Amino acid sequence: MNKILQNTLRRFLMVICVITLTACSPLQKKKATPTSDAELYNMGKQALKNDDYQTAIDNFKQLNTQYPFGPFAEMGQLDLAYAYIKGDDPQNAHAVASQFVRLHSDHPNIDYAYYLKGLASYFSARRFIERYLPVDKSERDPGELTKAFEEFAYFVKNFPNSPYANDAHQRMIAIKNRMAKGILNIANYYLKRHAYIAAINRGNEIVKHYQQTPYVEPALGFIIEGYKHLELDSAANDAIAVLKKNFPHTELLNSEGKFVGYQVFNDVNPSILDMASFGLFKGKVLPAQHHKKEAQKPLHKKRTKD
């Protein structure tokens, strides 16, 4: 009996020794906890440099929690907003940048905070589905794009010498182009449904408010076509004159100066399948030869055949 007890005790002591040695092994050492705000900040910056955005976010958030009044806290907040943008979380990026603007309006890098606000709104305009489906960017909800444009405009106006001003200006141009194309898509929709007045109004909106975009010429084409379908010759001729003056080489007019830019569609009255599939099976513009044939038809009694 004593021998059995001794063997059992010996095994128990061996197990304890193994556990103790394993726990003391250098391979099992835990990562050292950052001991200062400078160390936390540098870890976050290194994570950003390595494109490890989630680690950078965690480091900067920890910095803000443990050292909210330290010398690295303010820059850590700006870097946190940037890390959120790079980590595809523009909503949190905008919140962090906006908070910085409220709390540190006199900070020497306040221009960067305003830039980050606009940048966050710019990337917020992406919809989740666009990551997986080829959706036309101009068909996005313009709400966030408008917000981004206004924030960039405020930034450029108040900080024209900022190193980020040129990038903001280029993004403003891209936003206006995208918004103009979106309005053109709406005008196109109305034109296909024979809602000519609505199509004309959208075309006029582009001509009036988006003059520096490449969509003014096709917008004038929509305006002219809408007026011709409504048999408003005088208004159509005025629009043609504007088209000739500003786009002398336009393909919407023939060599005689007559309008030939008619759009002919085979899905003017969408089917139930088209509506149920959200347009995935919608028709396309008819081939060019049909397009030209249709353009030669008189639109009203006063016109004569070419």
Helix, strand, or coil here: 124? helix
Q: What is the DSSP letter of 297?
A: S
Query: How far is the C-alpha of 42 from the C-alpha of 51, rounded, in Å?
Result: 14
Q: Flag whether the pTM goes above 0.75.
A: no
pLDDT at residue 270, rounded to an integer = 47
Query: What is the tens place of the pLDDT at every residue in 67-87?
Result: 988 889 999 999 999 999 999
Query: How far is the C-alpha of 38 from the C-alpha of 59, rounded, in Å?
Result: 11
Provide the CB-side half-sphere exposure for 94 (13 A, CA): 17
**Per-domain boundaries in the chain:** 35-177
Query: How far is the C-alpha of 60 from the C-alpha of 83, rounded, in Å?
Result: 9
Strand partners, 285: 265
Query: What is the tens place of the pLDDT at every residue in 94-128?
Result: 999 999 999 999 999 999 999 999 999 999 876 44
pLDDT at residue 294, rounded to an integer = 36
End-to-end CA distance of the chain: 121
- Could you tell me if 100 and 77 are in contact, meaning their C-beta atoms sit under 8 angstroms apart? yes
Query: How far is the C-alpha of 38 from the C-alpha of 36, rounded, in Å?
Result: 5
pLDDT at residue 15, rounded to an integer = 53
Lowest mean pLDDT, pick from 33-42, 136-145, 203-212: 136-145
Specify the higher pLDDT residue, 247 or 283.
Answer: 247
pLDDT at residue 136, rounded to an integer = 53
Query: What is the tens place of the pLDDT at every residue in 271-299?
Result: 444 444 444 444 433 333 333 333 333 33
Contacts within 8 Å (CB) and 24+ apart, 123-126? 123/85, 123/88, 123/90, 123/93, 124/90, 124/91, 124/94, 124/148
Helix, strand, or coil here: 285? strand
Q: Could you tell me the two tokens for 281?
A: 């099976």
- What fold, for 35-177? 1.25.40
Could you tell me which residues come within 8 angstroms of residue 104 by beta carbon, excluding any fewer than 6 positions away? 74, 110, 113
User: What's the mean pLDDT in 227-249?
Assistant: 95
Which pLDDT band holds residue 301 (cuts at 50, 70, 90)?
Answer: very low
Compute the radius of gyration of the chain from its Cα atoms: 32
Q: What is the DSSP letter of 265?
A: B
Query: How far is the C-alpha of 255 from the C-alpha of 245, rounded, in Å?
Result: 15
